[in-house]
Structure 1
Amino acid sequence: MNDRKTHVLLTAQRLFTNKGFFTTSVQDIIDESKISKGTFYNYFSSKNECLIAIIENAHEAFVAQRREILVGNRKDDKSILAEQILIRLRLNREMKLLPIYEAVFHSSDDELRNFVKQLHYDELRWFTTRLIDVYGKDSEKYVVDCAIMIYGAIHQLIHFWSATSPKSINLNDLVHFTIRRLDAIMFDLMKNKDSLLGKHFLDNLFTNETSSTIMKEQLIAKLQSLLNGQQKDGHDNRLQYIEFLIEELSAMEPRLFIIESVNRSLREVYADSNEANRINEVVSLTWKYIDKMQS
């Protein structure tokens, strides 16, 4: 993603937040960004696609960051789970994405609603997987119920606080307060064999999930594309990370523990570059591939 396209996305995001998505026109974005109409449509086919790009960039960023927290830590540590949840809430606040999510949620636009619904399913897949990490295989029948209750509690507490207090809620206190309720909910569900949604809802969440083979093929293709672009710029230090990942992923038995380390370093060296969004996409997919191989 080049400087100008990044500038357009940031401008559009600011307009969507301050003016509202549905009251912001493509012409508003063009005028504020000081670009031509042709330039905008060279980047995005519509205002919807521009919004989707903004949300996708944020999504890939927090997916990569929260997965990195697990490296070197126990998967059953609830304090680590709390920190992972906090990453998304903090980024949403920092990037002022909540008004955008609200607009899409109340939208009658099927394209946008389906996109956000898919992101919601992705989040539930992640959270249910992490709950199984914490409570073991015996919890599978109850994790969907628990995940929805915990997320529901977090979001309802945020909404109530926002409606009654002029100050922003302390996200750290909120998440850790909610996670302290986790044992009581999960152990009660398991003890009483009490499930509303059941394991078949969990199975449905993972239906049509991309296979590890397809993930690996996609990764190598995306990394090769990045490599070709970086060769033109001559960033040798960055090339080494990309080349290594391509070589390791292409091996008969990729060394996942090494890929974990390099994947984190790759995101860090690109953090302030124009390619950061593309890198976050690749890094996020790499973490998903690692988790798929380890499952």
Structure 2
Amino acid sequence: MNKRKRHVADVALRLFVEKGIQQTSIQDIIEQAKISKGTFYNYFSTKNDCIAEILEGLRYDASQLRMEMQVGKDAKNREVFIDQISVLIQLNEDRNLHALFEAILNSNEMDLKKLVMHHRIYELDWLGERFVEVYGEDLRPYSFELSILFYGMLHYMLFTTRITNTTRSLHHMVDVLLSYTELIMQKMITQRTSLLDDSVLHFLRSKIDRKVMSVEEILEMAKNIEEEATFTIEQRDLYDTIVSELQQERIRKSVLQPLINPFRQAFVHSSVEAQVNVFTNSVWYFLRMN
């Protein structure tokens, strides 16, 4: 999302939280963002489209921060894992998104409810994959259910601290709840027990419409960047290495993952910064899903 589009989405979010989604008109957003009607419709077709972009922007910000936290670190590092979990929750709190989510879930807007569900299932999937990375493949049959249990505990702890105006360190809260989850996971593995069967998990996962780009599509994005940018030596070296690896029959995650953040950083403030951000995020997501 470019800076101007992000500004409009931020204004819309503030209005949605302050006034309510139904009470906020597109004209309200246009006036507060100081843009023309044409500009708004160039970015968003509807208010729902605007909310979809807000959630996508949140996931993008969280994914970039999580990548930065993990670069050069052991994938099993528990402290990094805690920080990665905390970052999305902190973004939610900073932007008051919990109020937006509650308003949507209490509304009759099925399309908006679906957007929130997609957002949450995406996060459950991310946490489940990280559980497996940190604690081992034996956990995979139980990882999605553990994500549900963990976020259930965290959600109601945050709800309680919010309504009681209690101050708690988010890092400490995640750390303690993770320690509880570690006890649960050991019991699930040793006793081979879970509450949800595969059909339920498959149904939940099928509700999220996310697109994993093919290698060919990612390489096409890379080609477009090359055509529009004038590379420095550092940028060229990183670009050639990434593209070369993507062209291999067996793409090595261990080679590509450490290059993603340096490549993105190399194009900060450049004319193709936005394209590079989309490209690196697509590569990261492709590696996650393959």
Shorter-chain TM-score above 0.5: yes
Looking at structure 2, the residues matched to 15 and 274 of structure 1 have their Cα atoms a distance apart, in angstroms, of 31
Equivalent residue for 1:110? 110
SS state at 1:142 partner = helix
**Deviation of 1:282 (Å):** 3.0
Equivalent residue for 1:78? 78
**Deviation of 1:285 (Å):** 2.3
Moved more, 141-150 or 277-286: 277-286
1:42 aligns with 2:39: no
Unaligned runs of 5+ in 1: none
Moved more, 100-109 or 274-283: 274-283
**Deviation of 1:280 (Å):** 4.1
Matched residue type, 2:111? E
Looking at structure 1, the residues matched to 289 and 266 of structure 2 have their Cα atoms a distance apart, in angstroms, of 25
Q: What TM-score do you get using the length of structure 1 for normalisation? A: 0.82
Equivalent residue for 1:171? 170
Equivalent residue for 1:4? 4
2:121–2:205 CA contact under 8 A, matched in 1: no
Q: Deviations over 1:233-285 (max 9, x none)?
A: x5757963556534442344445334223211233345567976654443332
1:266 aligns with 2:263: yes
Structure with the bigger RCO (C-alpha within 8 Å, sep 6+) is 1
Looking at structure 2, the residues matched to 104 and 238 of structure 1 have their Cα atoms a distance apart, in angstroms, of 46
Looking at structure 2, the residues matched to 219 and 20 of structure 1 have their Cα atoms a distance apart, in angstroms, of 38
Equivalent residue for 2:90? 90
**Deviation of 1:62 (Å):** 0.8
Equivalent residue for 2:284? 287
Looking at structure 2, the residues matched to 238 and 3 of structure 1 have their Cα atoms a distance apart, in angstroms, of 26
* 1:22-171 mapped onto 2 (5 Å cutoff): 22-165=22-165, 168-171=167-170
Counting aligned pairs with the same residue, the percent is: 28
Looking at structure 2, the residues matched to 185 and 99 of structure 1 have their Cα atoms a distance apart, in angstroms, of 30
* 1:13-28 mapped onto 2 (5 Å cutoff): 13-28=13-28
Pick closer, same or farther for the CA change 1:124–1:51 going to 2, 3 Å. Answer: same
Number of matched pairs: 288
1:78–1:179 CA contact under 8 A, matched in 2: no
Equivalent residue for 1:186? 185
1:144–1:198 CA contact under 8 A, matched in 2: no
Unaligned runs of 5+ in 2: none
Q: What TM-score do you get using the length of structure 2 for normalisation? A: 0.83
**Deviation of 1:155 (Å):** 0.6
SS state at 1:23 partner = coil
Looking at structure 1, the residues matched to 224 and 264 of structure 2 have their Cα atoms a distance apart, in angstroms, of 16
Equivalent residue for 1:257? 254
1:64–1:283 CA contact under 8 A, matched in 2: no
1:154–1:175 CA contact under 8 A, matched in 2: yes
- Output the aligned Cα RMSD: 3.1
1:48–1:112 CA contact under 8 A, matched in 2: yes
Looking at structure 1, the residues matched to 232 and 103 of structure 2 have their Cα atoms a distance apart, in angstroms, of 43
Pick closer, same or farther for the CA change 1:96–1:222 going to 2, 3 Å. Answer: farther
Q: Deviations over 1:138-175 (max 9, x none)?
A: 3333323322111100010000111111x554211111
Looking at structure 1, the residues matched to 112 and 233 of structure 2 have their Cα atoms a distance apart, in angstroms, of 39
**Deviation of 1:71 (Å):** 3.6
Pick closer, same or farther for the CA change 1:114–1:174 going to 2, 3 Å. Answer: same
2:118–2:209 CA contact under 8 A, matched in 1: no
SS state at 1:197 partner = coil
